[in-house]
Amino acid sequence: MIKANDPSLKSWIEVNPNCDFPIQNLPFGIFKTQSSSARVGVAIGDQVLDLAVLNKLGYFNNLKIGEAVFVNNFLNDLIALGKPTCSALRQRISDLLNETNAELRDNKEAREKALQYISNVQLLMPVKVGDYTDFYSSIDHATNVGTMFRDPANALLPNWKHLPVGYHGRASSIIVSGTNFLRPKGQTKPADVDSPVFGASKSLDFELEMAFIIGKPTSLGETISTAAADDYIFGLTLFNDWSARDIQTWEYVPLGPFLAKNFASTISPWVVTLEALEPFRTAGYEQTPKVLPYLEYTGNKNIDIYLEVAILPETGTETTICHSNYKYMYWTMEQQLAHHTSNGCNINIGDMMASGTISGPTPGSFGSMLELAWKGTKPLPLNDGTERKFINDNDTVIMRGYCQKEKVRIGFGEARGKVLPAL
């Protein structure tokens, strides 16, 4: 048996070298067709493999997984089976798709039932998110924001290098890629007026982030160490934490983001397992001063995920405006989870924790319009001849991400969202 991550693996399904979904990936998602209810699928090339069909046909008999797990609105029940079972399922799917395995390859009737082109299905929210936490863990982003709004010589607040700063966000407004949303409204206080006004945000922004999904629960009072954290992380998605900067500026003192962040966050529809991402681990930043013992870790915990952001106006072509990388995170997701539970906070399957804006060290790698256009002072030119300081009505923001090594590309698809005019 060849391990599912083996770079030499090839599938009998043709996969373009630039596709995010080779046989080494096999991300999980939820989809439906015009004739079927929501169900669990796995992406392979430009197709989705219907796991409910394969289970019904007996291909997973040895795994003893009930039908209800696969005919489901969310991945939560599958994730709840535990990493050993999910890993065994991923391995079985890999075996079935291996170019040397005739079980499914040579069964035309089963293939036709189990495979659909992704372009012909509707991709749904992959998980039911119970709780959502957003962190602030990119040192370049935090430095840029601190430089803009405070003293450049003291851009980072005193606690920043001692703990992964975070806040509890709103889970109900997390939406899947392709979902349009309305420009948010709220209170702002323009510099030239004495009192606040209420209306549509004039400074709508994106935030380039990754999010990890909890795959194992804890009880109230239980803590998770950095060494054990990976056991509790099922996989990752792209994450766009839309942000209304003008609303945020007025409201965030003293308790932080509220209406500026809770109106919409867009995720990619495919959950890439942590197992599939292991070959792309890399070293992170040297953390100085030394962190407290409960945040210490060993080994390479950052992940080399290339990220990009494009803006697509209502008419015209898209313009790529940002090239960044998840490896630029100062605080790792293992440290984030260890800190989150260090006070005994319990976590549940499907909980989502976002990285915070991911910015790199150069202007082209900044992960938000706030930084790219430097608070509106350096408008970004688009391919259609227009400029952007922030996001306009009817703009679509598209985030993409993938790992690349030994000719194997492990990707996440897209996190795409269109801003509609406020009502």
Per-residue tokens: 272: 């890439």
Whose CA is closest to 331, among 216, 167, 163, 185? Answer: 163
Among all chains, which residue has been given the structure tokens 């898209």?
Answer: 318
Instruction: Report pLDDT for 284.
Output: 95
Instruction: Report pLDDT for 1.
Output: 75
The model's pLDDT over 210-242, given as tens digits with 9 standing for 90+, comes to 999 999 999 999 999 999 999 999 999 999 999
The model's pLDDT over 369-399, given as tens digits with 9 standing for 90+, comes to 999 999 999 999 999 999 999 999 999 999 9
Question: For the chain, what is the largest distance between any 2 Cα atoms, rounded to a whole number of angstroms?
Answer: 74
Q: Which 3-state string (H, E, C) describes 88-109?
A: HHHHHHHHHHECCCHHHHCCHH
205 pLDDT above the threshold of 80: yes
| Cα separation, 165 vs 380, whole angstroms | 30
Per-residue tokens: 215: 């795959």
Instruction: Report pLDDT for 172.
Output: 98
The model's pLDDT over 22-81, given as tens digits with 9 standing for 90+, comes to 999 999 999 999 999 999 999 999 999 999 999 999 999 999 999 999 999 999 999 999
Whose CA is closest to 138, among 359, 418, 373? Answer: 359
User: Which residues is 115 bridged to in the sheet?
Assistant: 49
Q: Is the preceding omega at residue 254 within 30 degrees of 0, hence cis?
A: yes
400 pLDDT above the threshold of 80: yes
Domains identified in the chain and CATH numbers? 28-124 (2.30.30.230), 132-420 (3.90.850.10)
Contacts of 113 (CB under 8 A, 6+ apart): 50, 53, 57
316 pLDDT above the threshold of 90: no
130 pLDDT above the threshold of 90: yes
First-to-last alpha carbon distance for the chain, in angstroms, is 57
The model's pLDDT over 247-269, given as tens digits with 9 standing for 90+, comes to 999 999 999 999 999 999 999 99
406 pLDDT above the threshold of 90: no
Helix (H) or strand (E) holding 126: none
Whose CA is closest to 216, among 83, 337, 87? Answer: 83
Other CB atoms within a 10 A radius of the CB of residue 232 amount to 23
Query: 252-260 contacts: CB < 8 A, separation 24 or more?
Result: 256/167, 257/134, 257/167, 257/169, 259/184, 259/186, 259/187, 260/184, 260/186, 260/201
366 pLDDT above the threshold of 90: yes
The sign of the torsion formed by the CA atoms of 264, 266, 272, 277 equals negative
Active site residues: 141
The sign of the torsion formed by the CA atoms of 60, 62, 63, 69 equals positive
151 pLDDT above the threshold of 90: no
CA angle, residues 229, 413, 82, in degrees to nearest 5: 35
Instruction: Report pLDDT for 325.
Output: 98
| Cα separation, 232 vs 132, whole angstroms | 15
316 compared with 365, residue with greater pLDDT: 365
Extended strands (E) in 232-388 = 233-240, 243-244, 265-267, 272-273, 281-282, 302-303, 306-312, 319-325, 352-354, 380-381, 387-388
150 pLDDT above the threshold of 90: no
| Cα separation, 147 vs 149, whole angstroms | 6
